[in-house]
A and B are shown apart, each in its own frame.
Chain A
Amino acid sequence: DTGVSQDPRHKITKRGQNVTFRCDPISEHNRLYWYRQTLGQGPEFLTYFQNEAQLEKSRLLSDRFSAERPKGSFSTLEIQRTEQGDSAMYLCASSPQVGTQYFGPGTRLLVL
């Protein structure tokens, strides 16, 4: 399967813990995006990269959130000191320099 992959698919954590999610894009895609989707809503943009450079961060991305793409391939999204409001589906997508975004299956986070 050469699609976008995300790990883990599900994560349950306690409030105050740190969590990290991983996204592996389609191999030839140099742009990588993170979105968050809460129940009954459309996905909301968090941040995106071109290769290893982070091009834009949404105001939704508080100081507790950090994303990296150190070698321009896979990316990680870390949430520190999780809160119940962080419970959501975290989606990763990738695209070529010019072209459409393709999404991974998502990581569902539940903060207790």
Chain B
Amino acid sequence: GDSVTQMEGPVTLSEEAFLTINCTYTATGYPSLFWYVQYPGEGLQLLLKATKADDKGSNKGFEATYRKETTSFHLEKGSVQVSDSAVYFCALTDSGEGNTPLVFGKGTRLSVIA
């Protein structure tokens, strides 16, 4: 079945450092790809998404590009802030429309220190 593998955490960075969280997937067909974020004490929030190959999702300074040739969707941010400390989840759906059950990775905890 479909699966998502993301880098193990925790990741600890200093403020203004560059962030990469790796995510690779296995899927049949043409999945949609997502990054969700979970801030301490809060629910899952959609951070960004991409629905077809070579699409780039972006939001709040975060970016990820749907790479079909490497089956990857790595999350990047050029300069992290303390407020970015959270758990980040990579996920996919097998529907290009994004409305079928999500398959999540295990999550990567990011801590940003001042």
* Interaction A to B: yes
Interface residues of A (CB under 8 A from B): 31, 33, 35, 40-45, 48, 56, 58, 91, 93, 95-106
- In the complex, number of A-B residue pairs with CB atoms less than 8 Å apart: 59
- Give 4 closest A-B pairs by Cβ, nearest first: A42-B104, A45-B101, A103-B44, A105-B43
Alpha-carbon distance A44/B91, docked complex (angstroms): 11
| A45 with B98, Cβ < 8 A, contacts A100-B46, A104-B43 known | no
Q: Is B56 on the interface with A (CB-CB < 8 A)?
A: no
Q: Is B13 on the interface with A (CB-CB < 8 A)?
A: no
- The count of chain B contact residues (Cβ–Cβ below 8 Å) is 22
Q: Is B31 on the interface with A (CB-CB < 8 A)?
A: no
The digit string for B87-111, where 1 denotes a CB below 8 A from any CB of A, is 0010100000111111111110000
Interface residues of B (CB under 8 A from A): 4, 34, 36, 42-46, 49, 89, 91, 97-107
> Which chain B residue lies CB-closest to A35?
B102
Taking CB atoms, residues of chain B closer than 8 Å to A99 are 97-99
